[in-house]
Amino acid sequence: NGEGVERNYIKARELFEKAAEYKYDEANFYLGKLYYWADGVEEDRAKAREYFEKAAEKGSQNAKDALAEYYVD
């Protein structure tokens, strides 16, 4: 839950990228969130969509919901 740990979005991005390489599909959803909300990275909505789509293709309900919001937003 991150309690007692300082937020570090750059480290989070690095770890999510590694997790995605090892086929942890939900990591793509979290990468999408970072790029969508510009948390520790430059905002890039197109890149966020790509990550959401990758995760959604693997069955991530979170990513499917995020894509729906992306297209409404």
49-64: pLDDT as tens digits: 999 999 999 999 999 9
Per residue in 18-72, pLDDT (tens digit) is 999 999 989 999 999 999 999 989 999 999 999 999 999 999 999 999 999 999 9
Tell me the helix, strand and coil percentages in the chain, rounded to 5: 70, 0, 30
Alpha carbons within 13 A on the beta-carbon side of 48: 21
Two structure tokens written together for 71: 């297209």
Its pTM stands at 0.89
pLDDT for res 1? 61
Residue 73 has pLDDT above 80, yes or no: no
pLDDT for res 11? 94
